[in-house]
Amino acid sequence: MKKINVGVIGMGYIGESHIEALRRIGICNLVAIADTNYELALSKAELYGIEKVYKTVDEILNDDSIDVIHNCTPNFLHKEINEKIIRSGKHLLSEKPLTTTYAEAQELIKLKNEHPGVEACVNFNYRMNPVVQEMRSRIKNGELGDVRIITGQYQQDWLMFDTDYSWRLEPEVAGNSCCVADIGSHWMDIIQHITGHKITSVMGDLVTVIPVRKKPVNQNETFRDSVEGDYIETEVKNEEYAAVMFKTDKGATGVFHVSELAPGHGCYFGFEINGSKESYGWNQEQNDRMWVGRRGGDNSVIIRNPNTISPEAKPYTNLAMGHPEGWNDAFKGNIYAFYKYIADGCKGERVFSTLEDAAYIVRLTEAIVESSKTKQWVNI
């Protein structure tokens, strides 16, 4: 079988995770990377033994041997680079958020529809945790009953000091939201994916807790501790904390909060779904297990077991029970889902996030920002 040839643009924090995942998927072959920071790209190429290194997006797109391009650049470049990838006729795997505005996301969908040979996926990687897929399957089968209430959070601590800085705080680079667009997007995607509900009404409160930060003169890598050195005192416009109440199209209600100021949390991403028969709970920091809550019966904690897991979740788990799988495995599972879909001739269910799914998340993010400004509920 001919392998699917891949190129990755953007060799920062997440670009490296894409390389590692691609290297674990047998049906694809990573042939090239590109970054405007050419020194960085060269060092990653040497570390991972990658054949070709390009300086620009145009150079990598002109490589006719490549079938799929991953876009791992900062948010404001997603529209422009995704557009170029679609026009080139190569398949697209874009990092989230799809774009910084809903209008841009709609333009991308229109363009993709004009190129029917192009497939596209947006990297909402938590979807393909096997336990998440297990919960989705059980909800589809009616085991939880009607979904009534959905609550949860996504907390990190990497912006807790005024010496921490990221492009995610700058509207020109990240869009008009920091933590809702960055991590709230994952939360909303996973909830909609698992329950089959769509969030259709939001009431948000976005807070910039540290209004002035020390921005390093030299680029700081994402999630790295702050470094001593020259800095410029910079006014912060985007939020590092948000609380959101919401309602769904099928009558459920819920609330979540996201924070990048929660000491001790790296990726505390979790939720609880209360149904008319049972509750399910999941927490990314112990992502190999799910909690099942019952009234009038024993609660239980189910540990991922490939021998008993549902057929829908089975393709995304490999290790035997008691051998914990984790963040990297779910990440690989999501990218694998996209390549398997392409290898199968683009037939069947798109389990990964499509451009339409991801555009809706951008729309929700905009609605939450608007609601926080107007102090009103916003209906979508």
Identify the CA nearest to 276 among candidates 109, 125, 146.
146
Q: Is residue 34 near ligand NAD by the rule CB under 6 A? A: yes
Q: Transcribe 199-234 into DSSP letters.
A: EEEEEEEEE-S--EEEEESS---TTPPP-SS-EEEE
Joined together, the tokens standing for residue 20 give 């590692």
> How far is the CA of 111 from the CAs of 6, 82, 108, 354, in angstroms?
21, 10, 5, 14
CB nearer ligand NAD, residue 113 or residue 328: 328
Is there a contact between 184 and 191 (Cβ–Cβ < 8 Å)?
no
Which residues in the chain belong to E strands, given as ranges? 4-9, 28-34, 52-54, 68-71, 91-94, 120-122, 147-155, 199-207, 212-216, 231-235, 241-248, 253-259, 268-275, 279-283, 289-293, 300-303, 378-379
By CB under 6 A, tell whether 57 contacts ligand NAD: yes
Return the SS3 of 119.
coil
DSSP element (H, E) containing 14: helix 13-23
Nearer to ligand NAD, 95 or 134 (CB): 95
Are 342 and 68 in contact, with CB atoms under 8 Å apart?
A: yes
Q: Does 364 bind ligand NAD (CB under 6 A)?
A: no
Q: Which listed residue (5, 36, 151, 226) binds ligand NAD by CB under 6 A?
A: 36
Q: Could you tell me where the DSSP H helices lie in 24-129?
A: 38-48, 57-61, 78-88, 102-113
Q: For residue 293, how many other CB atoms are within 10 A of its CB?
A: 17
- Among 3, 5, 12, 306, which residue interacts with ligand NAD (rule: CB under 6 A)? 12
> Torsions phi, psi of 162, nearest 5?
-75, -5
Q: What residues from 97 to 136 belong to the interface with ligand NAD (CB under 6 A)? A: 123, 125
Q: How far is the CB of 193 from ligand NAD (least distance, A)?
A: 14
Tell me if 35 contacts ligand NAD by CB under 6 A.
yes
Q: Does 333 bind ligand NAD (CB under 6 A)?
A: no
Query: Which of 75, 192 has the CB closer to ligand NAD?
Result: 75
Residue 66 carries which DSSP code?
-
**Among residues 12 and 306, whose Cβ is nearest to ligand NAD?**
12
Q: Among 4, 18, 31, 75, which residue sits at the site for ligand NAD (rule: CB under 6 A)?
A: 75
Identify which of residues 51 and 146 has a Cβ nearer to ligand NAD in the complex. Answer: 51
Q: Does 337 bind ligand NAD (CB under 6 A)?
A: no
Nearer to ligand NAD, 145 or 223 (CB): 223
Amino acid at 99: T
Among the listed ranges 13-21, 45-53, 342-350, 353-361, the one in contact with ligand NAD (CB under 6 A) is: 13-21
Minimal distance in Å, beta carbon 11 to ligand NAD?
5
* Of residues 87, 97, 144, the one with CA closest to residue 117: 87
Site stretch for ligand NAD (CB under 6 A), options 20-28, 68-76, 131-139, 272-280: 68-76
Closest approach, Cβ 122 to ligand NAD, in A, equals 9
Query: Least separation, in Å, of the C-beta of 306 and ligand NAD?
Result: 24
| Residue labelled with tokens 């894409």 | 18
Exactly one of 6, 50, 68, 72 binds ligand NAD (CB under 6 A); that residue is 72
Tell me whether residue 71 or residue 317 sits nearer to ligand NAD (CB atom): 71
Binding track, positions 132-171, relative to ligand NAD; x by CB under 6 A: ----------------------------------------
Residues that bind ligand NAD (CB under 6 A): 9-15, 34-37, 40, 57, 72-75, 77, 95-96, 123, 125, 182, 221-222
